[in-house]
Amino acid sequence: MSHKELAALALTGPSVLPANRRPADLSDNHAHPPATLRQPAFISLRKHSPVDTPAITQLFILLITSVTLIRLWLARRQIAHVAAHRDRVPPAFATAVGDEAHARAADYTVAKTRHAMHELLLGTGLLLALTVGGGIGWLDAQIAAQLGGDGLLHGLLLIGAVMLVAGVAELPLSWQRVFGLEATFGFNRMSKGLFLRDLATKTAMTLLIGGPLMALVLWIMASTGDAWWAWAWAVWAGFNVAVMALYPTLIAPLFNKFTRMPEGELKQRIEALLARCGFESGGLYVMDNSRRSSHGNAYFSGFGAAKRIVLFDTLISRLSPTEVEAVLAHELGHYKRQHVSRRLLLIFSVSFVVFALMGWLLQSPVLFEALGLGRPTTAGSVLLIVLTVPYLLFALRPVLASYSRRHEFEADAYAAEHADASALVSALVRLYKDNAPRPGALSGVRLAPAGSAAHRPAAGRRRTGPGGGLRAAGRVPQAARP
């Protein structure tokens, strides 16, 4: 489980929260809040025309369905392209990758993309059912009737109820991904008991960490007036920074076992690489990823001198010490070129704009009526933000992907300067054969990566630099993290 997943967990629960609602029309006594219920401080009570509501509802449905259809279209293009190149290894890799390994990677890519399409359809269906379908409004009315009024407890119960509905709805697909998709291609090593234990751990963390955090956000929204969005953004940003700092020592060990890297050639090579690059590390660790998956990977976590370097045991068993050193040199390139701090700054800047936009949009009760919530509440505002923002930000994905690709090229160049570039190429090829990685990892796709992938195909990265050496050696495919 990564720190990014935990950050999302505090808002969305054990699984990624897609949303939806409204099973039936609300009765008249629930169509409007009881007299004892309070309007959130930031909601404007200005009059509005009933004509506005259907137009906003139609616009919302059009936006959500358009984004969904575009993503499905891109996924189908991806599948068609990969299937068309299934039996043809790109010439640049013909001597390194066999026909069988390439076909297996293509089959895995197609299956994984189809599974993602099913997840997208489920998420969109949940979103429309919970919003314009009336699900959140119905849950809101039931909880308000039981409590006899509004307040902090009401908001927490409403958010928890929506998370529970979404989590239960998504559980079958999560199960199928691990014990169907990953198992079919020989990657899964997770037992059913471990899957359920991870689920229980994530749920407990949601309650213990996400509950108090959400209570603070709801209190801020109810107490700070029109400036609520700025305070809420500050809390969100601070929480993410805290999670990144605490993840290596407090959170990650809940899911995996970390042991100090033993003495030997690999440790000596890594320590020499760190010295050449001027990189301070809080330790070199090996993670028991083989308990869950056969995918191999490596990553850094933490801040400052407390940064940990973590290698999957599956990566160490698969690559030579020289290849592992080259892989880590690429990751070091991200830190030395300040990619991590730049990405954080970009994420916080975009999120600031999103919070400000939502703060403006949520001032009108007509929006809540149009999206099926029935009445404006702080909890309803939080749910609208969490459920709709991924769709609103879809247009930025090509820009963000291009920005990320540029960083990958820079990290490749850094690795070629501080380690063996040919070793990075051989590591990429070996992991391609063993991991059956992401779509188009060798041959690429003309359009889909611009909206869905952060790395260019390996063939496009094996370039000759100004000095005649290998400038970009290739990126280790991202593996699924616990």
Structure-block tokens of residue 87: 């039996």
What are the pLDDT digits (tens) for 288-314? 988 888 888 888 887 766 688 899 998
- Asked whether the predicted pLDDT for residue 278 surpasses 90, the reply is no
Give CA separation, 411 vs 38, 133, 235, 337, 405, in Å: 53, 46, 32, 8, 10
- Asked whether the predicted pLDDT for residue 482 surpasses 60, the reply is no
> Which residues, 6+ apart, have CB-to-CB distance to 148 below 8 Å?
36
What are the pLDDT digits (tens) for 80-100? 999 998 888 888 777 778 888
Tell me the DSSP string of 27-64. PHHHHS--TTPPPPTT-------TTHHHHHHHHHHHHH
CB 267 within 8 A of CB 296: no
**Is residue 33 domain-resident?**
no
**Is residue 357 domain-resident?**
yes
- In a 3-state reduction of DSSP, which class is residue 259? strand
Please tell me the predicted confidence (pLDDT) of residue 436. 64
Q: CA 421, 432, 419: angle at the middle one, nearest 5?
A: 15
Please tell me the predicted confidence (pLDDT) of residue 455. 45
The more confidently predicted of residues 307 and 125 is 125
**Is residue 40 domain-resident?**
no
The more confidently predicted of residues 147 and 11 is 147
* Residue 293 DSSP label: B
Average pLDDT, the chain: 80
**Is residue 442 domain-resident?**
yes
pTM exceeds 0.85, yes or no = no
E-strand ranges in 182-263 read: 258-260
**Is residue 27 domain-resident?**
no
Largest Cα–Cα distance of the chain, in whole Å?
A: 77
Rounded CA-CA distance 259/98 in Å is 35
Please tell me the predicted confidence (pLDDT) of residue 476. 35
**Taking residues 432-444, what's their average pLDDT?**
58
Instruction: Identify the weakest region by mean pLDDT among 2-11, 299-308, 412-421.
Output: 2-11
**Is residue 103 domain-resident?**
yes
**Total structural domains within the chain:** 1
Band of pLDDT at residue 396, cut at 50, 70 and 90: confident
Band of pLDDT at residue 437, cut at 50, 70 and 90: low
Closest by CA position to 301, among listed 353, 355, 243, 364: 243
**Is residue 31 domain-resident?**
no
**Is residue 35 domain-resident?**
no
Please tell me the predicted confidence (pLDDT) of residue 441. 53
Instruction: Identify the weakest region by mean pLDDT among 121-130, 149-158, 457-466.
Output: 457-466
Percent of the chain with pLDDT over 70: 79
- Asked whether the predicted pLDDT for residue 475 surpasses 50, the reply is no
The more confidently predicted of residues 353 and 456 is 353
Residue the block writes with tokens 């990014």: 4
Rounded CA-CA distance 185/143 in Å is 45
Listing from the earlier edge strand, what are the strands of the sheet with 258-260? Answer: 258-260, 284-287, 308-312, 298-301
Please tell me the predicted confidence (pLDDT) of residue 40. 53
The more confidently predicted of residues 209 and 96 is 209
What are the pLDDT digits (tens) for 334-365? 888 988 888 889 889 989 998 998 888 888 78
**Taking residues 7-32, what's their average pLDDT?**
36
Structure-block tokens of residue 308: 């940990």
Rounded CA-CA distance 480/180 in Å is 15
The more confidently predicted of residues 208 and 36 is 208
Rounded CA-CA distance 280/283 in Å is 9
Rounded CA-CA distance 424/322 in Å is 8
Instruction: Identify the weakest region by mean pLDDT among 87-91, 154-158, 265-269.
Output: 87-91
Please tell me the predicted confidence (pLDDT) of residue 340. 85
**Taking residues 375-399, what's their average pLDDT?**
88
- Asked whether the predicted pLDDT for residue 228 surpasses 80, the reply is yes
- In a 3-state reduction of DSSP, which class is residue 126? helix
What are the pLDDT digits (tens) for 22-67? 333 333 333 333 333 344 555 544 444 444 788 889 999 999 999 9
Task: Note down the domain range covering 60.
Answer: 1-22+50-482
Instruction: Identify the weakest region by mean pLDDT among 88-102, 118-132, 375-389, 438-452.
Output: 438-452
Instruction: Identify the weakest region by mean pLDDT among 90-99, 152-161, 332-341, 375-384.
Output: 90-99
Tell me the DSSP string of 74-119. HHHHHHHHHHHTTT---GGGTTTS-HHHHHHHHHHHHHHHHHHHHH
- Asked whether the predicted pLDDT for residue 172 surpasses 70, the reply is yes
Band of pLDDT at residue 71, cut at 50, 70 and 90: very high
E-strand ranges in 162-307 read: 258-260, 284-287, 298-301
Q: CA 138, 365, 31: angle at the middle one, nearest 5?
A: 35
Please tell me the predicted confidence (pLDDT) of residue 245. 84
